[in-house]
Amino acid sequence: EDKVVQSPLSLVVHEGDTVTLNCSYEVTNFRSLLWYKQEKKAPTFLFMLTSSGIEKKSGRLSSILDKKELFSILNITATQTGDSAVYLCAVNFDMRFGAGTRLTVKP
């Protein structure tokens, strides 16, 4: 059975901290993994990863995929209160989502 597991489910940090969110997966015919940020509205696309070991960066956010160990991490450095959101990981065409990690950044 295909599954996508994110950890931790919830995380509380202070501004300026660095956080690492995890997404592990077991799916048939893996093609790509996507990260989304969801606040009080529809998810916002962050990254799509298809190749192992290649880091993608956007400002303070970065992500990398390990296709051998079947996981991805999302790093956020120098966190800000605006980073507070649920971060979703999804795999493959049918967008099989994990439960998400709820990140709260306190001032």
Partner 1 sequence: ETGVTQTPRHLVMGMTNKKSLKCEQHLGHNAMYWYKQSAKKPLELMFVYNFKEQTENNSVPSRFSPECPNSSHLFLHLHTLQPEDSALYLCASSQVLGEVRVSDTQYFGPGTRLTVL
Task: List residues binding partner 1 (CB under 8 A).
Answer: 31-34, 41-45, 48, 88, 90-100
Helix, strand, coil % in the chain, rounded to nearest 5: 5, 55, 40
Backbone angles phi, psi at 81, to 5 degrees: -60, -30
Whether the CB-CB separation of 105 and 87 falls below 8 Å is answered with no
Q: How near is the Cβ of 103 to partner 1 at its closest, in Å?
A: 16
Q: How many CA atoms lie within 13 A of 18 on its CB side?
A: 7
Residue closer to partner 1 (CB basis): 15 or 39? 39
Whether the CB-CB separation of 48 and 36 falls below 8 Å is answered with no
Q: How near is the Cβ of 98 to partner 1 at its closest, in Å?
A: 6
Q: How near is the Cβ of 42 to partner 1 at its closest, in Å?
A: 4
Residue closer to partner 1 (CB basis): 44 or 81? 44
Residue closer to partner 1 (CB basis): 17 or 30? 30
